[in-house]
Chains A and B, each alone.
Chain A
Amino acid sequence: MMNQKDHETKEFLHSWYLLLVTFLALLFLLLNRRLILDLPLCLVVFALYFKSGLTFSRFQKIFFYAFLFGFGIFILNILYPAKQLRVGEVYQLLQMTIYKASWDKALATMLRLFLVSLLSMCSASVIDYTKVILHLIVHKGLRPFWGYPMLLAMNSIALFKEEFDRIRINARLRDLPFKDQLTLFFPLLVFAIRHSQRGALSLVTRGLNQRKSFYYSYDLRSQDKKILYLFWLFYFGLVIMSLMTLR
């Protein structure tokens, strides 16, 4: 039998703490003015993600999408710079006039957006949100009547994907006209509504109430606390350095 310990010690860092780390990192990326300080922060956060189960192939995929998004914004910023950036040194590239100020600004924006997208997408693939919700219910006072419907919704995502595949395939097997295949969302919408209705009824009929016990405790381990403590030290170091450069 899988015991309590086996169940909860598989991840390197508890998902709740991974979420906190991600939130702090995103905040820093958005507020910090010195790009050079973003790099050590990202290195540390990605190291935590890789230890928590992010695979290299998934990282590569996410890197590609994040780069595409960042590069798109870079091009837009160069093509349509703000009025105050259309001053100073000018380059010519493919019959286009590019202002140095807008180039620098576009590059900085691209890098920041790229890092923010990369970080948030990677976090989505390593953070187990069901564990976060359960931790909040058990330890942080989140009401079960709020938490369990959220849990139900999180678990539905995989079912929706499966149902969507079935609907799509069925449309093909039934030789539906192309225009009707565009309305695939209709049966999926019905599925979503009915699933949520049945799920809600199930919560009620299986006796969900405010005073419940929990088999698994979803506790934080001392390892989690140590890692978070070290991260705090590192993070405050970066914040202080960032504030010093503002002066």
Chain B
Amino acid sequence: MYEIGPFEYTFKKNIHHLSSDPSSSNVAKKVFSREKIEILKHELVIVTGPSGGGKSTFLQLLKGIIPEFSSGRLEGSILYKKKPMHGEFFQENLKEILFLFQNPFSQLIYPRASEEFFFSMENYNYSREQMDQKKKELQAYFDLESLWHKKTTELSHGECQRLVLASLLAIDPEVLLLDEPTAFLDPEARQDFYHWLSKHKGQRTIVLIDHHLDEILPFADKIIQVDAEGAVTLRTSISVAKNLNIPQLPMNETQNSEVELKIEHVFFHYPDRPKLLEDISLTARSGEIVVLKGKNGKGKSTLFKIMAGLLKPLKGEIQIAKNKQLLAPKSHYREMGFVFQNPESHFFYDTIKEELRNFKDQDLNRLLQSFFKDIDLSRSPFLLSEGEKRRLSILMTAFHHKSILFFDEPTFGQDSESIHLIKTIILQLSAMGKLQFIISHDENFIRSLGAQVYELVDYHLVKL
């Protein structure tokens, strides 16, 4: 079905390595394969590799978006049914190959979820009866009923991903290219998706990027690795990295002040929407790690925003005491750092160097070596890969001398090595006396933190 390579796609230049080796500078960033890789009809292929290596770029090459809509240069060939992916064949392939992007919100077209679900089927001229039938089939796997009456702007990341994924799967494409389809899904929704995958394996060709390797590998017919250099190779097996050697981070100082955050009987719902949070109470102190989990759309991110003072509760209050002195609500933000789900919200300047200008040079070099393999500080932070953007946003927030830190899905889009790094950082920050709140769906990650775990169930916070 696919005959990939040998090929070389060059898409960005002037990458400076952190090492002082002058020969390593001005190397063009590329994704390439020196061998021919075949993907056969109805195979399920997992694409894996470190974040920032070029997995998403590789997937876009398989769709033909690159080089059709890209300024990069492709040499060699990537053939689908013996024909190239771009040029006149791009339109031909549109119907057969569907693509799910990493950021689900960018794919929303309609204002209502009930309309959005049908969009893909409408484009392929399905009749209303066929569309109803498809909805029935996919309902159980993606819990569409709970989304049906919502506006698309009201959906959480996970709900949005579920909706777009269901909409794409409804048209039974010949090839499905999925870029991290489970990144924002809660464990239950993820299991439902894998169940769907196991049931439909062998009915269509599926190529997907997924960091939950433990769960996805049993389904795989082939594994393709895109390494940090962008080399695409076929692998027969892959080991999930464990006990990685992360250098000691420059975090030896300890926090002198003791902070305590207290949530007291908080109630909240958005205007004209059903209730979301009821009678939420919680107390946490310096050095503690509090993990919040729950199904998509249950109000985890909203509770975070309330705790951080970004939203006002309808009832109840948030108190922060520093060295047993209550702080005025207006000054709460001075103690807080927030890692948002969308890392691009963190960036203000033209270059990464400007974003990191508050760091001491010595600390910065050590941190950058731990966080990135290659990074050109003179580049725009907006041009990093999704995984790199996430790590940069964590770096900027975690080392900003704040005593309370909020992480909203810190492991999204990260490979196992990066997840290990993030875990190390969080544990070290905890040892320094920082109070940390984390939203995560990653069970392994949560277990490894040894944190207090809470779940939002039926509008209430339950300690597990």
Contacts and interface: CB of A to CB of B under 8 A. Distances in A.
Interface of A: 1-2, 4, 7, 128, 130, 148, 151-152, 154-155, 158-159, 162-163, 165-167, 169-176, 180, 183-184, 186-187, 190-191, 194-195, 198-199, 201-209, 211-216
Please indicate which of the listed interface residues A148, A191, A198, A207 has the most CB atoms of chain B within 10 Å of its own CB: A207
Given A155-B153, A172-B333, A176-B348, A208 B123 contact: yes
A155 B111 contact: yes
Nearest to A202: B107
Contacts of A176: 348
Contact of A216 (B105, B115, B152): B115
A173 B337 contact: yes
A198 B386 CA distance: 14
Interface of B: 63, 65, 69, 94-95, 98-99, 101, 103, 105-111, 114-115, 118-128, 131-132, 135, 145, 148-149, 152-153, 167-168, 171, 308, 310, 333-334, 336-338, 340, 342, 344-349, 382, 396-397, 400, 402
Contacts of B336: 173
B123 A199 contact: no
Nearest to B406: A173
A170 B382 contact: no
Nearest to B103: A198
Contacts of A7: 114
Contacts of B145: 1
A145 B426 CA distance: 47
B348 A186 contact: yes
B111 A130 contact: yes
Contacts of A203: 109
Contact of A209 (B103, B123, B310): B123
A201 B69 contact: yes
A180 B101 CA distance: 32
Contact of A211 (B110, B115, B125, B132): B125
Contact of B65 (A152, A163, A201): A201
B42 to A, nearest CB: 21
Contacts of A194: 106, 344, 382
Contacts of A213: 121-122, 125-128
A158 B153 contact: yes
Contacts of B400: 174-175
B101 A198 contact: yes
A15 to B, nearest CB: 12
B98 A180 contact: no
A207 B109 contact: no
A201 B101 contact: yes
27 contacts: A1-B135, A1-B145, A130-B110, A148-B109, A151-B109, A151-B111, A155-B108, A159-B105, A163-B345, A165-B310, A169-B310, A170-B346, A173-B402, A174-B396, A187-B344, A190-B347, A190-B382, A191-B344, A194-B106, A194-B344, A204-B65, A206-B98, A206-B119, A207-B95, A207-B120, A207-B123, A212-B125
Given A155-B110, A155-B153, A216-B115, A166 B123 contact: no
Given A162-B153, A206-B167, 16 more contacts: A2-B148, A155-B152, A159-B153, A166-B340, A167-B345, A170-B346, A173-B337, A184-B348, A187-B344, A187-B347, A194-B382, A203-B109, A207-B95, A215-B115, A215-B121, A215-B122
